[in-house]
Structure 1
Amino acid sequence: MIDANSQFFAILTNVGMAKQANADALGIPWKLTEMGVGDANPGGLADPPNPIPSAAQNKLLNEWRRKPLNQLRVDPVNPAVIIAEQIIPADEGGKWIREIGLYDADGDLVAVANCAPSFKPLLSQGSGRTQVVRMNFVVSNTGNITLKIDPAVVLATREYVDSRILDELSRLDIKQSVRAATTANIALSGLQVVDGVSLNAGDRVLVKNQAVAKDNGPYVVAAGAWARAKDADSNVKVTPNMTLAVEVGATQADTIWQLVTDGAIVVGVTPLVFKDITDGLARLFSPIFVGSPMAPTPAQFDTSKLLATAEFVKRSGVEFSGFTSNSADLALTAAHVGGLHSFSNAGQLTATLPPSASIAQGATVTLACAGAGGLRVVGAGTDVVYTSTGVTGPILMALGDTAEFIRLQDQWRLIGGTVALRYAAVMSGPNFLTQPQFDSSLRLATTEFVQRGLGNLRAETAVSSSTTLGANAIGQLIVGGGSTPFTTTLPLASSVPGGSQIHFMATNPVSTWIVQRQGADILDNYAGGTYIVIGLGDSAVFESNGVGTWRLIGGSASLRKCDDFAASLLANGHQKLPTGLIIQWGQGLAMPNDGNDGASAGVDTYITFPRAFPNACASVVATHFGHKANLSVIARNISTTRFTAETPDPNGAQSVRYLAIGY
């Protein structure tokens, strides 16, 4: 049985150790070719024991598959470890994998391993998968082991493919860009500043100015010693014409450097010399120009792929090509296209748009009226001026108006500016008519509609069983009524905007109706708590702060929670009223008096009110409760906090109840 104490490992067999020793001694290549897997269960047991690899093995206990290796390599971290790998496709399996064997070209079992049991399903079982079986084993010397696999084996792991792709990319002359480049000899260790750039661990740096040129090349920054970049750390990856671009730096930003060392290069031995080739390149893809490059300005209204100069852009109306201020009538020309032209005069002025025949399709002209006299816009010759709705005729502009015109065919059409709103449906259509009362569509609301709707709730919803309200309950009246108790849960306060309100009203019949918070929300009802009970005829208004609190801000239910109606409904209790009047009740003991002057026969015993009257106690009425008939009780020594009760009965203290009124 497999448990936490089970051990899994790989070892060379006696045959494997002998062949390894022979290869080391004689320098004879030793070729590993195949991998076998088995279930270690020749007896077909339901729960076979965990197999223990033995050096004496010459076969697996119960091998069910043997195929050529897909990969054989030395561990890049530990050169004494060989990694052998085989891939089992999805259409093979239906068995357990508990033991793994490695075979050489002679068919001998040279290494054996056990592994945690893994069932390899068949695709036909409905849970097919491609499974990678990997064996890592230690050898004394990997130098004489032939690390070569059959190229006819077409399956490969993603890790292997990614590794090969990175290896091939690293051999290209165009390398990944570096963050910065050196300008002088530096120590190749630690985090430092290069060309004004504060380097971080993992940054790529082009080292090109070392006193010993063999140390030049791309490096990766580290807190300790720097290592050469992975794409430039071996001879096959560093070749003449290797090129790197620099990303940032005070002097080296956006430069491109090329390795100009010729001939065979041995990394760490051959001096490496780099040359700045930035100025020698006229790149066609994403070129970056410096200085003040110039180009011919294309003809006005040109639509080809010629470069657009600043002059062309200005003239084309991407932004206003110019501005004119006019105080007299003006016939605009092609030179005015793309510009903003203002007209100002105490009397009405006329602006004639450019002749359409000389203007390209889509060209625009923008006009502004800055004079109290207004502006009249007309077409030149037979040109027609259209509004955005197709109405023809002069366009009249008032003080503060703007208008944008576009040339289409032999016409100028109004397409923008404040004047266009005069003809737009958004201003003159049904959107700006006052909608019927209680309309809840997406049409615009006029001030008339808003004034008419102030104070109204948008809907009413009846509830008679437990439910959780959503955000759509905002602005509604929730009417509760039911013969059995039920609970209504408020929406999360954070799910609705601050200021959102929900109204509640209890109708007949109603049993116990509880309105409670949701989750960890706070129900701020003046007295605290997580819920309130709404009784028959009660109303309540809750408001969300939009964060995590619902506040009880109105309705008859709020009266029970406010200080003006504060009450304590106990045996010794009180009721406060908004006028300031306070009614208190309770019980205590009346002491016998001496029968002469009304004074107590003993020490006065006071009865304390449940709460002190703020100003005065106006009256106290005390009565005996018990078995004695016609026993009078006298209230004396009345203050805002207490009084004494006395009785003529000489037989000791008697129980009394009292009612006190004050303010």
Structure 2
Amino acid sequence: MIDANSKFYAILTAAGEAKQVKADAGLLTWKITHMAVGDANGLDPLPDRMQKVLINERRRAPLNSLAPDPANPAILVAEQVIPADEGGFWVRELGLFDADGDLVAIANCAPSFKPKLSQGSGRTQTLRMNFVVSSASNIVLTIDPAVVLATRKYVDDSVSNAINRLDTKQSVLVATTGPMVLAGVQVIDGLAAPAGSRVLVKNQDQPKDNGLYLVSADSWVRTVDADTSDKVTPALLVSVERGTVNADTQWQLVTDAPIVLGTTALSFRNILAGLMGNFAGSRTVAQSRALTVDERGMRIELAAGVVATLPLTNSVPEGTAYLLSAGSTSTTSKLTTANGDQFAMNNLAVPTPYTFSPGGDVIVVREGSIWRGHCGSETLKTSKLFSASMTTPGYQFLPSGLIEQWGEITTTGAVNEPITVTFPLAFPVACFHFIATASSSPTGYVGGEARGKERAVVTSSATVPQVLYWRALGK
């Protein structure tokens, strides 16, 4: 007779034990498919491992689900729903059958009468049977929404799991601006975040610890929509509500698959930066190092003596850009590329390491395997508008089209001997002005005149050899 001392439990039958051994050894893929209920002929049954059938089976139907207990993976939970229009019997015993039709697990339960609607009372009844297995690795777990009915818990869990696996997550109150201890209530980005607040943690020293968290007076835990690897996937997206720096920003997880939560470094990027013409941020690089993907779109100032290495072009998206500059007095800030990549400005290859002028800046953009410099004062050095040869003889182009050329020539000492000066470059249009002067006080005079776009003639009344300096202007 059932009383306060009665025990209710489930066990594998002898047939179930044998199949569990084969499944553990990889010799069998075990499919548990049906649950049967019985009234045990009014008796109070005790499960017997040698049973092959229920004492008195009243109903058998496919399982709604067979899944591990979330709190203990060694326990399998079999579930079946009996609809309101079925019944008229007591439920005292439960049994699980596999695809071969064998009774593989059996349980007793507290007696429960399942009425039919025709009796004037009806209910939908959920039956769950928990049994221990050594391993579920070769047991086919079943969640079949087409089978009979789904419990409210199953529906709630299914909807919750589906939402939690979406890339777009519920917004967070604030986002971090630097590394922090993930414990206790604290001020984040200028705002006191109360317990229970959602926070985007994105700046940890160990990037594997980045992610979505709940503020707690104790140690923080990851949010339910981002606490397992299947919920944290590439392109995860989250919006930030408040904060001095990060208010109204939107952050995307740019880490590629596969992602193992707690092991894989998680990197987030503000995808709204740049949409309104603003940069993603700014920082100073104080020590020589490689620039990172996370720094793209930023203004980065290089301290004196720093050599900044651009990322490999094939490691960043096409169009990735950095605004790079040197300190106002630095003459030793340099830029270089990684192995195999090129650096160019004004469609001309530029040797690396490239040294910045004091206060110089340039925007570099990835185009194929080349980092191209655009805009900024540094591009003037290689621009044809300012092309120059700072030697003797030499030349300088100016944006107006004016070209200045200079050089020196030595006379022979023959009085008024015409000496031809050949310009380093032929003037495209004309030479407007030519002048020559002596390097020391001459005897008599020095004269000169242009003779076309390519040359000029100088004379000197000096009776000894003399160095003459000349200058020509043209277009």
Q: TM-score when scaled to structure 1?
A: 0.40
The 5 Å alignment of 1:516-531 reads none
1:27 CA displacement: 4.5
Q: Verify the 8 A CA contact 2:184 2:220 in the aligned structure 1.
A: yes
How far, CA to CA, are the matches of 2:75 and 2:86 in structure 1? Answer: 29
The 5 Å alignment of 1:54-93 reads 54-93=48-87
Q: Verify the 8 A CA contact 1:235 1:267 in the aligned structure 2.
A: yes
What amino acid sits opposite 1:19 in the alignment? K
1:103 CA displacement: 0.9
How far, CA to CA, are the matches of 2:195 and 2:148 in structure 1? Answer: 39
The 5 Å alignment of 1:20-99 reads 20-41=20-41, 48-99=42-93
1:68 CA displacement: 0.6
Q: Verify the 8 A CA contact 2:65 2:144 in the aligned structure 1.
A: no
Q: Which residue of the partner structure matches residue 19 of structure 1?
A: 19
How far, CA to CA, are the matches of 2:195 and 2:17 in structure 1? Answer: 44
The verdict on how the C-alpha distance between 1:194 and 1:143 changes in structure 2, with shifts beyond 3 A counting, is same
1:57 aligns to what SS in structure 2?
A: coil
1:106 CA displacement: 1.0
What does the per-residue CA deviation read over 1:384-413, in whole Å, with 9 as the maximum and x for residues that have no partner?
Answer: xxxxxxxxxxxxxxxxxxxxxxxxxxxxxx
The 5 Å alignment of 1:323-342 reads none
The verdict on how the C-alpha distance between 1:184 and 1:149 changes in structure 2, with shifts beyond 3 A counting, is closer
What amino acid sits opposite 1:105 in the alignment? A
Aligned pair count reads 276
Q: Which residue of the partner structure matches residue 313 of structure 2?
A: none
Does 1:236 pair with 2:230?
yes
How far, CA to CA, are the matches of 1:240 and 1:257 in structure 2? Answer: 12
What does the per-residue CA deviation read over 1:146-165, in whole Å, with 9 as the maximum and x for residues that have no partner?
Answer: 10255641421111111111
Q: Which residue of the partner structure matches residue 115 of structure 2?
A: 121
The verdict on how the C-alpha distance between 1:226 and 1:22 changes in structure 2, with shifts beyond 3 A counting, is same
- Greater Rg over alpha carbons, structure: 1
The verdict on how the C-alpha distance between 1:103 and 1:204 changes in structure 2, with shifts beyond 3 A counting, is same
2:59 aligns to what SS in structure 1?
A: strand
What amino acid sits opposite 1:71 in the alignment? S
1:201 CA displacement: 4.2
2:72 aligns to what SS in structure 1?
A: coil
1:39 CA displacement: 0.6
What does the per-residue CA deviation read over 1:548-604, in whole Å, with 9 as the maximum and x for residues that have no partner?
Answer: xxxxxxxxxxxxxxxxxxxxxxxxxxxxxxxxxxxxxxxxxxxxxxxxxxxxxxxxx
How far, CA to CA, are the matches of 1:56 and 1:191 in structure 2? Answer: 58
The 5 Å alignment of 1:598-637 reads none
Q: Verify the 8 A CA contact 2:64 2:147 in the aligned structure 1.
A: yes
Q: Which residue of the partner structure matches residue 361 of structure 1?
A: none
How far, CA to CA, are the matches of 2:232 and 2:26 in structure 1? Answer: 35
The 5 Å alignment of 1:633-652 reads none
How far, CA to CA, are the matches of 1:114 and 1:202 in structure 2? Answer: 43
What is the root-mean-square deviation of aligned Cα atoms in Å? 2.1
Q: Verify the 8 A CA contact 2:64 2:142 in the aligned structure 1.
A: no
2:122 aligns to what SS in structure 1?
A: coil
The verdict on how the C-alpha distance between 1:28 and 1:181 changes in structure 2, with shifts beyond 3 A counting, is same
The 5 Å alignment of 1:391-470 reads none
What amino acid sits opposite 1:177 in the alignment? S
What amino acid sits opposite 2:220 in the alignment? W
1:26 CA displacement: 3.4
The correspondence for 1:216, drawn from 210, 233, 241, is: 210
What does the per-residue CA deviation read over 1:112-133, in whole Å, with 9 as the maximum and x for residues that have no partner?
Answer: 1111111111111121111111
Q: Which residue of the partner structure matches residue 461 of structure 2?
A: none
The 5 Å alignment of 1:59-458 reads 59-149=53-143, 152-278=146-272
Q: Verify the 8 A CA contact 2:26 2:138 in the aligned structure 1.
A: no
How far, CA to CA, are the matches of 1:136 and 1:151 in structure 2? Answer: 20
The verdict on how the C-alpha distance between 1:180 and 1:4 changes in structure 2, with shifts beyond 3 A counting, is same
Q: Which residue of the partner structure matches residue 557 of structure 1?
A: none
How far, CA to CA, are the matches of 1:138 and 1:200 in structure 2? Answer: 42
1:34 CA displacement: 0.4
The verdict on how the C-alpha distance between 1:92 and 1:184 changes in structure 2, with shifts beyond 3 A counting, is same
Q: Verify the 8 A CA contact 1:235 1:266 in the aligned structure 2.
A: yes
Q: Verify the 8 A CA contact 2:67 2:143 in the aligned structure 1.
A: no
What amino acid sits opposite 2:227 in the alignment? D
The verdict on how the C-alpha distance between 1:151 and 1:243 changes in structure 2, with shifts beyond 3 A counting, is closer
1:77 CA displacement: 0.6
The verdict on how the C-alpha distance between 1:280 and 1:160 changes in structure 2, with shifts beyond 3 A counting, is farther
1:57 CA displacement: 1.4
What amino acid sits opposite 1:258 in the alignment? Q
1:109 CA displacement: 1.0
Q: Verify the 8 A CA contact 1:113 1:135 in the aligned structure 2.
A: yes
How far, CA to CA, are the matches of 1:55 and 1:279 in structure 2? Answer: 66
Does 1:10 pair with 2:10?
yes
How far, CA to CA, are the matches of 1:2 and 1:200 in structure 2? Answer: 51
Q: Which residue of the partner structure matches residue 661 of structure 1?
A: none
How far, CA to CA, are the matches of 1:118 and 1:280 in structure 2? Answer: 65
What amino acid sits opposite 2:156 in the alignment? D
How far, CA to CA, are the matches of 2:45 and 2:275 in structure 1? Answer: 66
The verdict on how the C-alpha distance between 1:96 and 1:237 changes in structure 2, with shifts beyond 3 A counting, is same
1:231 aligns to what SS in structure 2?
A: helix
Q: Which residue of the partner structure matches residue 460 of structure 2?
A: none
What amino acid sits opposite 2:123 in the alignment? R
The verdict on how the C-alpha distance between 1:189 and 1:143 changes in structure 2, with shifts beyond 3 A counting, is farther
What does the per-residue CA deviation read over 1:604-663, in whole Å, with 9 as the maximum and x for residues that have no partner?
Answer: xxxxxxxxxxxxxxxxxxxxxxxxxxxxxxxxxxxxxxxxxxxxxxxxxxxxxxxxxxxx
1:263 CA displacement: 4.5
The 5 Å alignment of 1:552-563 reads none
How far, CA to CA, are the matches of 2:108 and 2:191 in structure 1? Answer: 53
Structure 1: runs of 5+ lacking an equivalent = 42-47, 283-663
What does the per-residue CA deviation read over 1:236-256, in whole Å, with 9 as the maximum and x for residues that have no partner?
Answer: 322232211223334333332
How far, CA to CA, are the matches of 1:103 and 1:201 in structure 2? Answer: 48
What amino acid sits opposite 1:213 in the alignment? P
The verdict on how the C-alpha distance between 1:229 and 1:115 changes in structure 2, with shifts beyond 3 A counting, is same
1:162 aligns to what SS in structure 2?
A: helix
How far, CA to CA, are the matches of 2:217 and 2:27 in structure 1? Answer: 42
Q: TM-score when scaled to structure 2?
A: 0.55
The verdict on how the C-alpha distance between 1:95 and 1:175 changes in structure 2, with shifts beyond 3 A counting, is same
What amino acid sits opposite 2:151 in the alignment? T
How far, CA to CA, are the matches of 2:215 and 2:4 in structure 1? Answer: 42
The 5 Å alignment of 1:559-570 reads none
1:84 CA displacement: 0.2
1:133 aligns to what SS in structure 2?
A: strand
2:154 aligns to what SS in structure 1?
A: helix
What amino acid sits opposite 1:119 in the alignment? F
Structure 2: runs of 5+ lacking an equivalent = 277-475
1:236 aligns to what SS in structure 2?
A: helix
Q: Verify the 8 A CA contact 2:174 2:240 in the aligned structure 1.
A: yes
Q: Verify the 8 A CA contact 1:33 1:149 in the aligned structure 2.
A: no
What amino acid sits opposite 2:79 in the alignment? E
How far, CA to CA, are the matches of 2:57 and 2:63 in structure 1? Answer: 16
Q: Verify the 8 A CA contact 1:68 1:150 in the aligned structure 2.
A: no
Q: Verify the 8 A CA contact 2:252 2:271 in the aligned structure 1.
A: yes
Q: Verify the 8 A CA contact 2:183 2:218 in the aligned structure 1.
A: yes
What amino acid sits opposite 1:22 in the alignment? K
